[in-house]
Amino acid sequence: MPLAPDTGRAYCLSDFDFVLPPELIAQHPASERSGSRLLDSTSGQPVDRIFKELPTLLKQGDLLVFNDTRVMNARLFGEKATGGKLELLIERVLGGNQVAAHLRVSKKPAVGDTVSLVSAPGYPDNLSATLLGRWPDANGALFRFVLSNDAGDDPYTLMARHGHVPLPPYITHADSTEDAQRYQTVFAKNLGAVAAPTAALHFDEALFERLDDAGVQRAHVTLHVGAGTFQPVKTENLSEHQMHSEWYEVPAATQQAIADCRARGGRIIAVGTTTVRTLESWALSGQTTGDTSIFITPGFDFRLVDALITNFHLPKSSLMMLVSAFAGYEHIMALYAHAIREQYRFFSYGDAMLLTRKLNAPEAG
């Protein structure tokens, strides 16, 4: 269990709790992507800025690394033969029209049962899902279904046509046309996520032009963000927590861009915690693609990332632990207290902060 250097005690779950006024949970995005607020901590003290000021805080030769995953319309609604309502949240497409999904239902259907799914208006597809069992094994937390319709379309096509934007559980409205546009980055490319890499939602084309003019380089990785990103850690002893698994890839072009950045003395700046998890998983394992269940807590020795742009995270979440490991526990808790006092907007549609990596020796673990 990681040790807190200022107290000599082990960090536990309750250390990462805080009281957040519910009115600070952003229900809608800022009117302009880069018009959101940015809490700049690079001087060691909090400075309140607007996100579009970011180019003035970076240096020529710095490298911004983004997660280019694309959010699927992964939420499907339906009902059992008995009339009971259900909801599927598709976490992964497995092949052969099979998917791994979270299932919300009052009484689980039996293996082999077929449930009817709601088709979008104008598409009488006779859409259904047949339960095959659990995933990834007999004790898995997800359910394995086969999706089908009259035309035999693949799951990606079916989700695009009939699915809903998988908004986080703390956003209380049903998905809308606004969400279809704004709960997606402007550069989203590789389809497979059920949650957006939200730190990158603040970037727009005008901001990219200013970053280009400032000589800031860009590269991309892919990590298909899973619904587990919203799950709070439940074990007081952090070493007992079982981290969710997500698929990632670090392309050859990005590997070269990182090597070039190091050679010229630039900083590697991760846009979002999913990018951090991808880069540090690669650095630890040497694997450029695969599944990662990396759990970053205070004491972690960061090997690649020098600075981080991130939104504000849920209390007791693994992401609170990651940013505390990166910038220092006391520093993060002070920044969160400042953000609450100054009424920053929190979570996926909220504001952002810019962090630099704590440079002192790693905390003992």
CATH 3.40.50 fits 75-162, yes or no: no
Label the pairing between strands 69-71 and 268-271. Answer: unpaired
Predicted confidence at residue 9, as pLDDT, reads 52
Are 94 and 211 within 8 A, CB to CB?
no
Q: 61 is written with which tokens?
A: 């030769």
Query: What architecture does CATH give domain 13-71+179-356?
Result: 3-Layer(aba) Sandwich (3.40)
Task: Tell me the pLDDT of the chain (365 aa) as tens digits.
Answer: 333 444 445 899 999 999 999 999 999 999 999 999 999 999 989 999 999 999 999 999 999 999 999 999 999 999 998 899 999 999 999 988 999 999 999 999 999 999 999 999 888 789 999 999 999 999 999 999 999 999 999 999 999 999 999 999 999 999 999 999 999 999 999 999 999 999 999 999 999 999 999 999 999 999 999 988 888 899 999 999 989 899 999 999 999 999 999 999 999 999 999 999 999 999 999 999 999 999 999 999 999 999 999 999 999 999 999 999 999 999 999 999 999 999 999 999 999 999 999 864 444 33
DSSP readout, 249-265?
E--HHHHHHHHHHHHHT
Predicted confidence at residue 2, as pLDDT, reads 39
Where do you find CATH 3.40.1780.10 in the chain?
13-71+179-356
Predicted confidence at residue 191, as pLDDT, reads 97
Which of 26, 313, 344 is closest to 172 using CA atoms? 26
Predicted confidence at residue 123, as pLDDT, reads 83
Where do you find CATH 2.40.10 in the chain?
75-162
d(CA 298, CA 322) in angstroms, rounded, equals 7
Peptide bond before residue 136 is cis, with ω within 30 degrees of 0: yes
d(CA 51, CA 115) in angstroms, rounded, equals 45
Q: % helix / strand / coil in the chain, to the nearest 5?
A: 30, 25, 45
d(CA 191, CA 69) in angstroms, rounded, equals 6
